[in-house]
Structure 1
């Protein structure tokens, strides 16, 4: 039970890194916040050198490298998070998953966290190459619903979208509308 004094808007599971790249995690929140900060810094460093936004695959490789370094350095522990990194560049979407070891993989769609097996099975049945953004949002929410414990509301889930316009986190009102549409 959370305290009525807690401001739920102060911590997010979905974070923009650049205009076209976003992150979401499963695991330890404080570790995630450290990696969000590091990812933003890496993206800015790339921009300062090349005067263009960092490609999604480049950012994934650099963040995963940081995660891998923490598995073998003395005096530190590995990051306790798995990440999903999505981005849009070169006219198409990208989705990568990185685990605490620093290994990373490209996906068309995936699930992670508690009950991820149910989520992946659900996605495998529903996925197709020609999914429009609206349908993809509905599918993502239905996938969450497959293994969600309790009632899903705009206060306890977040949805990030990425398209030509960039990456953004849906507002609670938008999430509520999508939840109403699948009810």
Structure 2
């Protein structure tokens, strides 16, 4: 399964989670995820947020200390 398709499926699950009557929850996972893989063009990295959206990055840091780490990563890319 292509990495972007997997990432889209995870985000669709998060977006659709609160649509049924029995489960009203705004953020079913409550976490950001990094999904890494490989496609026909090479390595890929996607960042998902708790709201169910995703963005492709060359390099991405999340979690505690991510601001400093992201700055360092931007110097390398």
* TM-score after normalising by structure 1: 0.38
Matched with 1:114 is 64
Equivalent position of 1:61 in the other structure: 8
Larger radius of gyration: 1
Matched, 1:70 2:17: yes
By percentage of residues, which structure has more helix?
1
Per-residue displacement from partner, 1:67-106 (whole Å, max 9, x unpaired)? 1112554424221111000001214001000011001000
Task: Give unpaired runs (5+ residues) of structure 2.
Answer: none
The structure, 1 or 2, with the larger RCO (C-alpha pairs under 8 Å, 6+ apart) is: 2
TM-score using structure 2 length: 0.83
Distance 1:65 1:117 in 2: 27
RMSD over aligned Cα atoms: 1.6
Q: Secondary structure at the match of 1:81?
A: coil
